Amino acid sequence: MIIVKKTDKIKGNIYAPPSKSYTHRAVICASLSDGISEIKNPLNSADCLSSVHGARMLGSYITTEDENKWIVEGNNNSPKTPDNIIDIGNSGTTLRILTGISSQIPKGYTILTGDESIRKRPMQPLLDALKQLGIEAFSSKMDGTAPIIVKSGEIKNNIVRIRGDMSSQFITSLMMTLPFAKEDSKIILTTTLKSAPYLDITIDVLSKFGITVKPLEEENEKGFFIEGSQKYKPCNYTVEGDYSSASYLVAAGVLLNSELTINNLFKDSKQGDKEIINIVKEMGADIEVKNDKVIIKGPHKLKGIDVDVKNIPDLVPTIAVLGCFAEGKTTIYNGEHVRLKECDRLSACAKELTKMGAKITEKPDGLVIEDVGKLKGAELETYHDHRLVMAFTIAGMMAEGKTIIKEEGAVKISFPNFVDVMKSIGANITLC
């Protein structure tokens, strides 16, 4: 657990951790290529190492001894039949992407499973989509959740329809699988697309490894076009900093007496979560943004705003904490899909922050947070969710008294050295 006490000042020149989203996609693309790739500045987190493990099980050779550079020898666009079950731990991204990719093994079956949380995450929309393509993939429990069993099979159809409002990871999986089809393919969205920036990331990474995905140009159809018989090519790829993880540093900077420089945050990033910069600016923070860094001198007096989280679900815990210290009312909306993450983050934020004295009303698609002036320390559950651990730590640094945050180990999913980084800038926290 983490013991957090009120922190007077933070100061430092620090680096945002590498992007989890980019690392996942880059190492899996490299694992499919017909040569050797270097992944520079990868995120050495449990989630990303799950993708490394899965890629190895499908026939690639990956060395990760150098944490700053992974060497990936691809399987030459020919995933191999794994000789055991693939356990992907807590990584939903790995599960979704490899469910599609593993259909392209030459024979037999791939079985993918994970921890207790993963075995509750919905998979049925992706399973249904693969069925449309002639791929047999199903839940071993027949309830649309892992363990997932995928049978080797050729992609037989060239049009797949899938909802876009549940998880962009389903669509990412299709984008990364359909280049194996002999014919050109279309992904047609049957609902409004949410978390669209994650698909921009997928398309961007795929392009670096020789795969082209284009938006559909038809007026009456929204979706994507993928040419058939494409081949993954090797690439030396550098992973940029992660705005999702940096959001906790940004929040700490604007709330506390601070002098912070956060490096490795690129101004032209395709990450949707770079929106955290615009959110804190709209709330009243005056921060400086350069090409590859953010400079913050706090504290800043914040005001409540309305935030549409359709495309930024991972920022919800951060925004909820910011809202607790903003004048007036902060409304988070359009976030039904936030309930389908590592836990129901809407419910968890409302329940746990209320323990600290926050005034939060939970809505079907979001939260309404009203100004209470200050929070008090409390003992908080985090439901094995890395983003809750980090967001609640920031709340604890602002609260009166002592805050106990359980299950600190969850941060290894996306920000393994979070506690060390926070302590290095002066956070009054202790790991127990």
Residues identified as active-site: 314
Handedness of CA 162, 168, 173, 175 (dihedral sign): positive
Question: Do 51 and 43 meet the contact criterion of CB atoms below 8 Å apart?
Answer: no
Helix ranges (H only) for 256-385 are: 275-282, 316-324, 345-355
Give the integer Cα–Cα distance in Å for 106 and 95. Answer: 20
Handedness of CA 228, 234, 239, 244 (dihedral sign): positive
Handedness of CA 226, 230, 231, 234 (dihedral sign): negative
- Reported as half-sphere exposure (CB side, CA atoms, 13 A), residue 331 has a value of 7
3-state secondary structure of 169: helix
Residue of 382, 247, 380 whose CA lies nearest to 315? 247
3-state secondary structure of 176: helix
Question: Do 101 and 94 meet the contact criterion of CB atoms below 8 Å apart?
Answer: no
Q: Which residues contact 143 (CB under 8 A, 6 or more apart)?
A: none
